[in-house]
Amino acid sequence: MQTIIEKLTENAQLIYRKSIDADAIIAKLQSSGKGKFNAIFPSDSGFTASGRFFKPYVEELAQDIANLSQLETEQQKQALPKVVKKIELLLTTLNQFQVSVKV
């Protein structure tokens, strides 16, 4: 399980780097009157965080990964799918955002 947690951490670091760039672009768009939305993900996305930037979601993911290492093996197995879903959602959304902004 330790290897899995290490891979999750690597993915979270990649997401963090991408989110910094995306948040800067969102800030620029919003300062020019564009990007008028209240949250990146809907309330039923699996995140408890909510915001107009990626940062709160990335922080929640990092906390989830940190919490995984504190759990017993059976609890880790139960929590793992939720963490993987969040990673997938963040990576997909960040990649789509990068593509749409370059157009």
Q: What is the mean pLDDT of residues 12-32?
A: 95
Measure the CA–CA gap between 38 and 87, rounded to whole angstroms: 21
Tell whether the model's pLDDT for residue 64 goes beyond 90: yes
Q: What is the mean pLDDT of residues 67-88?
A: 95
Structure tokens at 71: 């759990």
10 Å Cβ neighbour count for 13?
12
Residue 99: per-residue pLDDT = 93
30 vs 35, more confident: 30
- In angstroms, how far apart are the furthest CA atoms of the chain? 49
User: Residue length, the chain?
Assistant: 103
Mention every residue, 6+ apart, whose C-beta is less than 8 A from residue 88: none
Measure the CA–CA gap between 87 and 93, rounded to whole angstroms: 10
